[in-house]
Structure 1
Amino acid sequence: MSTATHMDLTHTEALLQVPEGGLASAPRQNIESGIPGVRLNPTLMRHEIFDAELAEEVLRTGAPSSQVVVLLAKGELRAASELVAETRFIDPQNFAMRVLDTSLTRAAGDAPRAVNRLRALLTEFKDTEHESILQQHLGFAYVESGDVLAAANRFRKALDLRTAADADAHLIESSRACLESVLEHTAKTAGSADAPHPAAVNAAAQHPAPATAAIALQPPAAG
């Protein structure tokens, strides 16, 4: 690592500096999400079910926001969308549901639109206790949009905010692990600017572009 000070670095170089504490030397493990039965996969930037029984218990008795995360992890987008809509009908300004609504947009294959919606929310909640989660989710959306440098910027901001606020350990670790994932990808694909991050590859695989059907030529009408 360079001995240059942060002020000596260009913006891009600063983004790509290894975070304090270094990079993980062992294969990165999924991270506790704070929701029973669900962990964050920091390589694919998605929540995954690791204990089906615990996850089902959350669906029966958990808070609506936790239920939405479980449904997203299971790929049940329609049920997740209905629960978000029902909750926001009662409480339109529910912050958790507004963020999860952007997760639905991303899960449906429209990461650029999720970026725009999250940036609007960030304008509303800048410098509040909610900023770190918006920065984290912007990181997810930028990765899937293919802009890894913007993602690095957002994950680093989320990490800094969560560390400064002494947030729960799993929140700090999720920001650190996602930042490290982006940095490792950037290092491995140096010189290949178009190489997509695994999270972007996975997102694209969930929503393949429809095949373009050949248009059958019709014979001219008789007469």
Structure 2
Amino acid sequence: MSAISVTHLGKSFGGVRAVDDLSFTVERGTLTAFIGPNGAGKTTTLRMILGLVTPTEGGAAIGGGPYRDLERPVSTVGAVLEATAFHPGLSARTHLEALRLAAGLEPGRVEHVLEQVDLTASAGRKVGGFSLGMRQRLALASALLGDPEILILDEPANGLDPEGMRWLRGFLRAYTHQGRTVLVSTHVLAEIQQIADHAIVLRAGRLAWQGPLSPETDLEELYMEVTA
């Protein structure tokens, strides 16, 4: 069974067709790059997979069923769709502790995820003073609290410096080496090519290309060809 499956998915906002008859699968244990120009429908698709937006047509499933039917959603899928949804007056640790309590997770999870994203030294600082890169790390820590099998990430490299990019690349590769699954939307093609197993390319809300990536694949060239 695929980790994520999208079947004839469509979404219209008024007269705007954001996603149009889109179908693809993300297999377990893979890192899949989800790419396309701005406005191609990537974020809308991710939101429909997570049940945050209702499709006009078709459907999306995580582990064979819709997100709303997951018995333990935080342990099945973690998501980062934006890195700004934090109360600026809370510390990183307090923010994560509130999420942990709401989800009924073990107390040790907060310190564990802070260490995973290299934020332990800044955990007592108020989030309002965080850089965008630090907010990205905190958003990822929030997604990791439930120790999920699947990660869905929308532009997780936004705001990261070169060192942060290298860290993220290593983290995601190690995550899939554990047999877990990552679907990541990104514009940083040179970085994602180094670690992705597969790619899904959208153009104007439709599937432009999908398939495995080999060391010989020039992802930027492929991207330009299928989105032209």
Q: TM-score, normalised by structure 1?
A: 0.32
- Structure 1 or 2: more helix by fraction: 1
Quick one: higher RCO (CA 8 Å, sep 6+), 1 or 2?
2
Greater CA radius of gyration, 1 or 2?
1
- Structure 1 or 2: more strand by fraction: 2
